[in-house]
A and B are shown apart, each in its own frame.
Chain A
Amino acid sequence: MKTHLQRIYSWIDERVELQGLVEYMGKKYVPVHRHSIWYYFGGVSLFLFIIQVVTGILLLLYYKSGEELAFESINFIMSKVQFGWLIRSIHSWTANLFIFSAMIHMFSVFFEKAYRKPREITWVTGMLMFFLALGFGFSGYLLPWNELAFFATKVGTDIAGVVPIIGKPLMIFLRSGEEVTGATLSRFFGFHVAVLPGLFTVFLSIHLLLVQRQGMSEPLHIGKESERKTMPFFPNFILRDITLWLLVLNLLAILAVFFPWELGKKAEAFASAPAGIKPEWYFLCLFQTLKYIPGKLWFLDGEILGVILFGIAGLLWTMVPFWDRKSSRGEQNRFVNYIGLFAVIYIIIFTIIGWLA
């Protein structure tokens, strides 16, 4: 048995020089310190992304895009296909957990200043993936073509429409016309299953390659080299990772069975909006902020101002490795910590307000 495996291994090794990779992996170490726990969230996000790919492909086997078919096909998946309910519920729940876990990953990296030189590219690709994930969420939300999704998309694309100059063409591009229609659905379907996954894969490859190449970043405040503890990436860290993944999978299964994702009512273009339409929770703080900005501020339209501010904030956040010079020099930068803290508190408070409203 073992000899067979060894033979196969050496067959491959002779051709692609696997040994080098294995040795490299074997030499890779993960630093152990009191902040090590945060290292796991990147892996959890990756695992959730893999689940999304697998369940997404499975859903694609039965999903039919189109105004007349989308809702019915999801209904079919949920009621007729064996375990269809499970696949769909897991896909929906994972989407949420993925964004949640990606957020934790992002903030932990931010606070540990892990983005500092030489990991600027890793950070930027990570941020780009985060924006893509929001795009995944936004486009995927419409695909069941139910009432809530329909109106959430209407509101969401409306907001995109207020961006100065490019807003209106952007909205028409997103909606594939002036209104949210079946054409929007086709377009979002295309984004969700082809455009976004393609882009995401590119960024993910770069991101993972860099992580493997550069190893885990260590926090600035860790002591001298000699006192540092490490653990082998393989098998220790990988096995710990897998253990956590299994627990996450458990959580997903429980959520899918006890809180199956609802389908709601089919969207009707001319029906009046149902009470209490809310965007997905990860858009709530944006949504709520726009609500609080007064209609007219100085000479700017309140909504435009909000969208511009969020745009600038997002850009600055993504560009943090380039303006936070102190961290790259290995110095403490409290200012960045305060900004991060403010962002976290802001998001939590506005999400809660949005949730309760």
Chain B
Amino acid sequence: MNQIPEIPENKSKRDFLQWVLAGGATAFLGAVLYPVFAYLIPPKQAEVEVSSVKAGKLSEMEKESGKIIKFGTKPVILIRTANDEVRAFSATCTHLDCTVQFRKDFGMIWCACHNGKYDLNGRNISGPPPRPLDEFRVVIQGDEILISKKT
């Protein structure tokens, strides 16, 4: 009684029902899992489109110094060189997305994670970085430094 008896003459009908049940169960799983997996995808946050940011005052920046500026959600490194040029590059290292820094002693942009080095034109010159840093446009209005995306 505890063993389900096999009844061969009913085989085709049973197969049909089982087939339908299996299909239904699959569809059901789909109906349940689709919303769950869709839910797991993080929704795109409306990113505020930043075309330019104020990066502070030129007079407050020493020669041969650099600082990290928030450009939307991404960091940008602003550098004032020894011969008084102001440049800006993406501060995200092209190697593994660490944030780079200005090293006065090297006179270079340096990434602490894997000793990657870039020159003051953003070119990768030493270490693992595979390509140069993206350059940003710098406009100086009076004393105000404005950084914008290069188009």
List A residues at the B interface (Cβ < 8 Å).
26-27, 54, 58, 61, 76, 80-84, 86-87, 232, 235, 246
- Which of B10-46 touch A at CB < 8 Å? 28, 35-36, 38-43
Nearest Cβ distance between residue A30 and chain B, in whole angstroms? Answer: 13
Q: Is the interface of A mostly helix, strand, loop or mixed?
A: helix
Contacts of A81 in B (CB 8 A): 39, 42-43
A26 to B3, CA, bound (A): 8
- B38 & A80 in contact (Cβ 8 Å cutoff): no
Chosen A-B contacts, 20 in total, with CB atoms closer than 8 Å, are A54-B36, A58-B36, A58-B39, A58-B40, A61-B40, A80-B43, A81-B42, A81-B43, A82-B35, A82-B38, A82-B41, A82-B43, A83-B35, A86-B35, A86-B39, A87-B35, A87-B36, A87-B39, A235-B4, A246-B28
B83 within 8 A of A: no
Contacts of B42 in A (CB 8 A): 81
B59 within 8 A of A: no
- B2 & A27 in contact (Cβ 8 Å cutoff): yes
Q: Which residue of B lies closest to A80 (CB)?
A: B43
- A232 & B43 in contact (Cβ 8 Å cutoff): no
- B2 & A83 in contact (Cβ 8 Å cutoff): no
Contacts of B35 in A (CB 8 A): 82-83, 86-87
Contacts of A235 in B (CB 8 A): 4
A78 to B71, CA, bound (A): 30
Nearest Cβ distance between residue A27 and chain B, in whole angstroms? Answer: 6
Contacts of A26 in B (CB 8 A): 2
Contacts of A61 in B (CB 8 A): 39-40
A54 to B40, CA, bound (A): 13
Interface centre among A26, A61, A82, A232 (most CB of B within 10 A): A82
Contacts of A86 in B (CB 8 A): 35, 39
A177 to B43, CA, bound (A): 36
A54 to B38, CA, bound (A): 15
Residue from A27, A83, A232, A246 in contact with B39 in the complex, judged by beta carbons closer than 8 Å: A83
A26 to B38, CA, bound (A): 39
> What 6 A-B pairs are tightest by C-beta distance, nearest first?
A83-B35, A82-B38, A80-B43, A83-B39, A26-B2, A81-B43
A83 to B38, CA, bound (A): 7
Nearest Cβ distance between residue B126 and chain A, in whole angstroms? Answer: 42
Contacts of B4 in A (CB 8 A): 235
Q: Which residue of B lies closest to A27 (CB)?
A: B2
A78 to B42, CA, bound (A): 13
Contacts of B39 in A (CB 8 A): 58, 61, 81-84, 86-87
Q: Which residue of B lies closest to A230 (CB)?
A: B1
Nearest Cβ distance between residue A43 and chain B, in whole angstroms? Answer: 18
Contacts of A83 in B (CB 8 A): 35-36, 38-39
Q: Which residue of A lies closest to B36 (CB)?
A: A58
Contacts of A58 in B (CB 8 A): 36, 39-40
Q: Which residue of B lies closest to A79 (CB)?
A: B43
Nearest Cβ distance between residue A243 and chain B, in whole angstroms? Answer: 11
- Which of B90-144 touch A at CB < 8 Å? none
A54 to B37, CA, bound (A): 12
Nearest Cβ distance between residue A97 and chain B, in whole angstroms? Answer: 17
Interface centre among A80, A83, A84, A87 (most CB of B within 10 A): A83
Contacts of B2 in A (CB 8 A): 26-27, 232
Contacts of B43 in A (CB 8 A): 76, 80-82
Contacts of B36 in A (CB 8 A): 54, 58, 83, 87
Contacts of A84 in B (CB 8 A): 39
A236 to B59, CA, bound (A): 83
A27 to B2, CA, bound (A): 7
4 extra interface residue pairs, beta carbon distance < 8 Å, beyond A76-B43, A82-B38: A27-B2, A61-B39, A81-B43, A232-B2
